[in-house]
C-alpha cells in the first residue's frame, strides 16, 4: 500500500470516526502517510540539488579549462615564467609583469585570482617546460641510436649537459621550489606532468631492454624514478659552497650504469 497519495489520505480521513481505537489506528496511518510523502519530497529535492551541483561543477571545470587556454593568460604565464627564471619566486613582483605585458592590474586579475595564482601558474608552466625538454631529448637519443654505443654515448652526453647547462640549472631550482611549496590546487597538474616524464623514461628503458642494451632484471619503473632522483639531486651541489665538476659527476654516473644497468654482453 502506498501512503503518499492524496486519495489515500482522503480515504483515511473519511474512515476516521469509528470509535477511539479506530481513531488511534487512523492517526497512526495518517502519520505514516505524511512521513512517506515527506521522505519522497526530500529525496526528490536532494536528487535535484545533487544534479544541479554536478552541473555547476561541470560548467566551472569547463570555464576554468577555457580560461587556462585564453591567449592573454598564456602570454602572462610565459612572461611570468621568464621573470621567475630571472628573479626567483621570492622576488617576483606583479609590477614587473605589468610593465612587460603592458596590461593593467585589473586585466591581469581578470585571468588570475591573485599574485599567488600568477606565481603558481608560472611554476607549473616552468615545471612542464623542464619535463618537455627532457622528454624531447630522451626521445631523440632513442630515435637516433642504432647501436648500443650510440645509446650509451647519448645518455652520458645528456647527463653531462644536465649539470653544465645554466638554463637547466635554473629550471631545476624552480622545480625544487614548486615541489616544496605546492599548494593543493597545484598538486594535480604537477602529478600529471610528473607521470608524463616517468612514463617516457619507462618507455625508453623498456625499449632498451628489448634491444638487449639494459639488463632484463632491471625494473623499468624503479630505474625511471632513480634516474630522475639522481638527476634532480644535483641541486644539492648547486647550492653548495664548493661544486663537483661535470666530469666528476659524469664519471660516477657512468660507472654506476656500466656496473648495474647496462647488459654486459651489449658492449662486447
- Whether 198 is in a domain gets the answer yes
Cα dihedral 239, 241, 247, 248 sign: negative
- Whether 26 is in a domain gets the answer yes
Task: State the cell numbers at 231.
Answer: 638527476
CB 104 within 8 A of CB 167: no
Whether 145 and 56 share a structural domain: no
The number of beta carbons lying within 10 Å of the beta carbon of residue 13 is: 12
- Whether 207 is in a domain gets the answer yes
Whether 177 and 51 share a structural domain: no
How does residue 256 score in pLDDT terms, banded at 50, 70 and 90? very high
Question: What is the rounded distance in angstroms from the CA atom of residue 47 to the CA atom of residue 45?
Answer: 5
How does residue 83 score in pLDDT terms, banded at 50, 70 and 90? very high
Whether 52 and 151 share a structural domain: no
Whether 204 and 134 share a structural domain: yes
Task: State the cell numbers at 127.
Answer: 615545471
Q: What is the CATH number of the domain that holds 154?
A: 1.10.357.10
Question: What is the rounded distance in angstroms from the CA atom of residue 130 to the CA atom of residue 136?
Answer: 10
In terms of pTM, does the model score above 0.85? no
Whether 128 and 221 share a structural domain: yes
Q: How many domains in the chain?
A: 2
What pLDDT, on a 0 to 100 scale, did the predictor assign at position 37?
A: 56
Q: Per residue in 12-30, pLDDT tens? A: 445 544 554 454 455 455 4
Whether 148 and 225 share a structural domain: yes
CB 10 within 8 A of CB 46: no
Which residue range forms the structural domain that includes residue 227? 115-267
CA distances from 209 to 176, 220, 245 (A): 31, 9, 31
Beta carbons within 8 Å of 193's beta carbon, 6+ residues apart: 124, 127, 128, 131
- Whether 86 is in a domain gets the answer no
Averaged pLDDT, 168-175: 74
Question: What is the rounded distance in angstroms from the CA atom of residue 115 to the CA atom of residue 146?
Answer: 49
Whether 141 and 250 share a structural domain: yes
Whether 120 and 226 share a structural domain: yes
Asked if the model's pLDDT at residue 201 lies above 80, the reply is yes
What pLDDT, on a 0 to 100 scale, did the predictor assign at position 48?
A: 44
What rounded mean pLDDT belongs to the chain?
Answer: 78
- Whether 262 is in a domain gets the answer yes
Whether 61 and 123 share a structural domain: no
What is the rounded end-to-end Cα distance, in angstroms, of the chain?
Answer: 86
Whether 53 and 135 share a structural domain: no
Q: Which of 68, 115, 128 has the alpha carbon at shortest distance from 89?
A: 115
Whether 33 and 124 share a structural domain: no
| Boundary of a domain, candidates 44, 65, 86 | 65
- Whether 149 is in a domain gets the answer yes
Whether 53 and 147 share a structural domain: no
Amino acid at each position: 500500500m502506498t501512503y503518499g497519495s492524496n486519495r489515500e489520505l482522503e480515504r483515511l480521513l473519511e474512515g476516521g470516526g469509528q470509535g477511539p481505537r479506530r481513531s488511534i489506528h487512523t492517526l497512526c496511518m495518517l502519520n505514516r502517510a505524511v512521513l512517506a510523502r515527506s521522505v519522497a519530497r526530500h529525496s526528490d529535492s536532494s536528487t535535484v540539488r545533487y544534479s544541479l551541483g554536478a552541473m555547476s561543477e561541470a560548467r566551472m571545470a569547463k570555464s576554468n579549462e577555457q580560461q587556462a587556454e585564453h591567449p592573454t593568460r598564456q602570454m602572462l604565464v610565459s612572461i611570468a615564467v621568464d621573470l621567475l627564471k630571472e628573479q626567483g619566486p621570492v622576488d617576483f613582483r606583479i609590477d614587473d609583469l605589468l610593465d612587460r605585458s603592458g596590461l593593467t592590474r585589473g586585466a591581469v586579475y581578470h585571468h588570475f585570482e591573485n599574485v599567488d595564482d600568477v606565481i603558481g601558474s608560472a611554476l607549473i608552466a616552468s615545471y612542464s617546460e623542464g619535463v618537455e625538454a627532457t622528454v624531447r631529448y630522451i626521445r631523440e637519443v632513442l630515435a637516433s641510436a642504432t647501436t648500443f654505443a650510440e645509446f650509451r654515448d647519448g645518455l652520458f652526453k645528456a647527463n653531462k649537459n644536465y649539470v653544465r647547462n645554466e638554463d637547466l640549472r635554473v629550471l631545476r631550482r624552480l622545480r625544487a621550489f614548486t615541489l616544496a611549496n605546492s599548494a593543493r590546487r597545484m598538486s594535480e597538474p604537477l602529478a600529471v606532468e610528473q607521470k608524463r616524464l616517468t612514463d617516457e623514461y619507462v618507455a625508453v628503458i623498456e625499449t632498451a631492454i628489448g634491444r638487449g642494451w639494459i639488463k632484463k632484471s632491471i625494473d623499468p619503473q624503479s630505474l625511471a624514478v632513480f634516474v630522475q632522483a639522481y638527476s634532480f639531486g644535483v641541486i644539492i651541489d648547486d647550492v653548495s659552497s664548493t661544486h663537483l665538476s661535470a666530469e666528476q659527476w659524469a664519471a660516477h654516473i657512468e660507472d654506476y650504469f656500466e656496473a648495474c644497468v647496462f647488459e654486459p654482453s651489449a658492449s662486447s
